[in-house]
């Protein structure tokens, strides 16, 4: 969605994407997220986008700091929080978000995508390998 919204050329200046399971502390929120969200765009009136994947792995202190950052910079930035377990997100942060829940993908779609990736990566599947990937993935890709 971000590529469609901003275009490939503007992505680096308009989108900050972090894997919150790697960068999960309060320091990341206070430094990287605040630095990015606090700057305004000069030649565009579009808002900036901060994407935090696996934000359920963030510490509680980092989540509280993120809540304050969202409140402060909501005029020029939007935040996309991606989590596997919504219950691990503090209520104060959840209340500032719109939730979208996605059902697991159908097995047929997962099979097709895995086969496509294996073809592009020149990976040969062992007998039963595709079935194992589909079963163990439980519809999450």
The CATH number of whichever domain residue 46 belongs to comes to 3.40.50.300
Residue 125 in domain: yes
**Interatomic CA distance for residues 120 and 39, integer angstroms:** 39
Same domain as 62, residue 40:
yes
CA triple 66-91-32, angle to 5 deg: 10
- Count of structural domains, the chain: 2
Top pLDDT among 2 and 42 is at 2
Residue 62 in domain: yes
Residue 100 in domain: no
Asked if residue 37 has pLDDT above 60, the reply is yes
User: Looking at residue 141, what is its pLDDT?
Assistant: 56
Same domain as 112, residue 87:
no
Residue 102 in domain: no
Is residue 23 very low, low, confident or very high in pLDDT (cuts 50, 70, 90)? low
Asked if residue 22 has pLDDT above 80, the reply is no
Supply 4's token pair: 């469609």
Same domain as 122, residue 62:
no
Same domain as 45, residue 21:
yes
Supply 66's token pair: 């993120």
What predicted TM-score, i.e. pTM, was given to this entire model?
0.76
Segment 95-133, tens digit of pLDDT: 999 988 888 889 999 999 999 999 999 999 898 999 999
> How much is the average pLDDT of 24-34?
78
Same domain as 125, residue 80:
no
Same domain as 89, residue 116:
no
Q: What residues are paired with 80 via a beta bridge?
A: 51
Segment 42-83, tens digit of pLDDT: 767 788 999 999 999 888 988 999 999 999 998 889 999 999
Same domain as 26, residue 62:
yes
**Pick from 99, 84, 96, 80: which is nearest to 15 by CA?**
80
Same domain as 120, residue 57:
no
User: Looking at residue 24, what is its pLDDT?
Assistant: 65
Domain that holds residue 63: 2-94
Same domain as 121, residue 90:
no
Top pLDDT among 26 and 24 is at 26
**Interatomic CA distance for residues 96 and 67, integer angstroms:** 8
Residue 76 in domain: yes
């Amino acid at each position: 969605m971000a590529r469609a919204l901003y275009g490939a050329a503007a992505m680096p200046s308009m989108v900050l994407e972090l894997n919150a399971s790697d960068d999960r502390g309060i320091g990341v929120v206070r430094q990287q997220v605040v630095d990015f969200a606090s700057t305004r765009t000069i030649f565009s009136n579009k808002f900036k986008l901060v994407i935090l994947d696996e934000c359920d792995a963030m510490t509680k202190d980092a989540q509280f700091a993120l809540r304050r950052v969202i409140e402060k910079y909501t005029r020029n930035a939007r935040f996309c929080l991606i989590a596997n377990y919504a219950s691990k997100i503090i209520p104060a942060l959840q209340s500032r978000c719109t939730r979208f829940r996605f059902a697991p993908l159908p097995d047929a779609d997962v099979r097709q995508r895995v086969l496509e990736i294996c073809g592009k990566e020149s990976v040969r599947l062992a007998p039963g390998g595709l079935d194992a990937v589909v079963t163990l993935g439980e519809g999450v890709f």
